[in-house]
Amino acid sequence: MTLKNLIKHPIAQYAVNYLITFALFMICRTIFILANGNIYGDIEPSHYLTLFKGGTKYDFAAIFYLTAVSFFMMIMPFRFALNATYRRVAKYFFLIPVSIGIFANIFDAAYFSFNGRRTNFSFFSEFKNESNLASIFFGGLVDYWYLALAAAALIFVLVKFYYSPKVSADDFPAKRYTLKVLPATLICIYFFMAGLRGSLFIDNDHRPMNMNNANEYIKKSNESAIVLNTPYCILRTMGKISFTNPEYFDADELSQIYTPLHHPTPHGDFRKMNVVILILESFGKEYSGLFNGNEGYTPFLDSLYREGLTFTNSFATGRKSIDAMPSILAGIPYLTDHFFMGIYSNNKVNSVASLLKQKGYYSAFYHGAPNGSMGFLHFSRLAGFDDYYGLTEYCNDKSFNAMDDFDGHWAIWDEEFLQYYAKSMGGIPQPFVTACFTATSHNPFRIPERYKEQFEEGPLPITKCIQYTDNAIRQFFNRMKQYPWYENTLFVITADHTNQNLSREYTTDRNVFKVPILFYQPGGIKKMSEKLFCQTDITPTILDFLNYDQPYIAFGNSYFDDSDTTGYVINFSEPLYQISKGKYFLQFDGTKETGFYIPDEDVMLQNNLIGRFPDEESAMLKLLKAEIQQYHVRMIGNDLTVAQ
């Protein structure tokens, strides 16, 4: 068999196309970095080489996953693999999955700025209830046309340069064909297995790689997205069960270190105040002038922050809207997996709604998107809210014009829906607890035409939306002030997560979680607290403020609890668990510490102090491990409520 014939063989054909695809995946990685230059602009060139080196493993694996059918078709040691029709079928089993993989890689460059990680299989669960996916999809193509062009160009190159030489059966003699090709087939299978495992050694000493292996190449957690690629993340998380007991401690020691079981000690009689919770889409703390010493984009909220209890160091637990609702309303953080989409998403939970129901409260949740969007309807039911008000209910209210008020992509404009929210609260029984999730400050970042000249363009598309929603909140409060029970209402305002960054300071593993949190009762507490505070602390603080007196489960602490076990923040910056306590910040990958910093002195987290403060490091790690273990154990055991 001549060399000329060998390069025509289907195995060689697959190998050449594999290498072309590998090069295209590397280009995808480069585009991903360029599209997120505000996040990755300070990485040293030499470190990029390390990240790309790690990326080769994940690209090798992803391409094998995507082209597995074509691979096994092409390496068959039988002469039918030479058939032109057979190879044409194998071609499409190669081109179609790889094209989808390239598209996913390229468009994740845009999506990453919103969720802070590579997309995984949970994406499909997150959006499965959306009825307007086509509009969202094509809107994304328009907004990120340059990425669409890049994806189209790479797919064109893939198709144009697909190596498919003409092969004749005469080029490969039939005599002992299978025996001649079989060794090459076995070698190919070996490399296929090695590629999926991320190691040339297929033995018990070399475990198959997973997404956490990206940690070997990174300095900061957000760099893992450079090492990984989107097809790999989606395929490897398909059907994944994330929860296992890490067994850091035995049961007795665990309960002594940390427990989410609260036994309140009220300071007086229960206060039957109304509770109104506003969850603002994508309102990162950096958009506020008050917290950043500039004019900012939230003048009304800044004025409100001065009139209530707010925090200079307040944080979200996750980077997605679906993580905020459980954290804020039920004290369930985002640790390891998204509660909404996990296999334990139907676990019993207690929430601010279900707990206050015991005190005679009515509860309702409001979201101006199509009912069922984002899984909010499901969780509100699970959390014990009496009613849900979404797009359907808004359309049924004849005092609003739903056709004009829909933003064309996600939901009713914030101004109109907040007015509907305020109007609705005027007709519900008291005492009540309600929550409303806004929507306008969500990609594609559009505001009503009538306001396009009123609000100035900012350095980012989102800033105009932030100004618009801030003004909508102003009008919401103007309406709320008309109710006689206004002063007997506790308002809680926070954001679901951060979004596009104005300053590099807010791109660090710690500050990328900074969101505002405000407790405001007209004429009540006025304080700017420096205490570390998290979304999961909101429900315990509400209950403590009202002098709630029954036990409950929440992975958070009341602001009014001054014990040594409070005043810390835990969040999950995949693949790292993080804890801030006192002046220190620690990162942990589930097995070992990877970072220890003093953020006030080292804002950009460039000076890793692991081992320099052993006592503080040990205490923080112990608390973090205990909360992780409690979270996993209680998820597995469906133990997120107190038996009544």
Q: How far is residue 456's CA from residue 461's CA, in Å, rounded to a whole number? A: 11
DSSP tag of 576: E
The pLDDT value recorded for residue 644 is: 60
The pLDDT value recorded for residue 185 is: 93
* Cis-peptide into 575, omega within 30 deg: yes
E strands, 340-393, are 362-367, 387-389
Which H helix or E strand runs over 279?
A: strand 274-280
pLDDT digit string (tens) for 228-276?
A: 999 999 998 887 666 789 999 999 999 999 999 999 999 999 999 999 9
DSSP, collapsed to helix, strand or coil, labels residue 580 as: strand
Q: How far is residue 103's CA from residue 592's CA, in Å, rounded to a whole number? A: 35
pLDDT digit string (tens) for 325-361?
A: 999 999 999 998 888 777 788 888 999 999 999 999 9
The pLDDT value recorded for residue 205 is: 46
E strands, 281-333, are 309-311, 314-315
Looking at domain 257-562, its CATH superfamily turns out to be: Alkaline Phosphatase, subunit A (3.40.720.10)
The pLDDT value recorded for residue 207 is: 62
The pLDDT value recorded for residue 50 is: 94
The pLDDT value recorded for residue 565 is: 73
Q: What is the chain's Cα-based Rg?
A: 27
pTM over 0.95: no
| 563 within 8 A of 339, measured Cβ to Cβ | no
The pLDDT value recorded for residue 143 is: 85
Which residue ranges of the chain lie beneath pLDDT 50? 204-205
The pLDDT value recorded for residue 135 is: 75
Task: Please provide the DSSP assignment of 431-485 as one string.
Answer: SEEEEEE--TTSTT----GGGTTTS---SSHHHHHHHHHHHHHHHHHHHHTTSTT
Instruction: Please state the domain extents for the chain.
Output: 3-236, 257-562
DSSP, collapsed to helix, strand or coil, labels residue 289 as: coil
The pLDDT value recorded for residue 242 is: 62
**Residues in Cβ contact with 351 at an 8 Å cutoff, skipping those fewer than 6 apart:** 329, 330, 383, 384, 385, 539
The pLDDT value recorded for residue 466 is: 97
E strands, 489-627, are 489-495, 517-520, 527-529, 533-534, 552-553, 568-573, 576-581, 584-588, 593-597
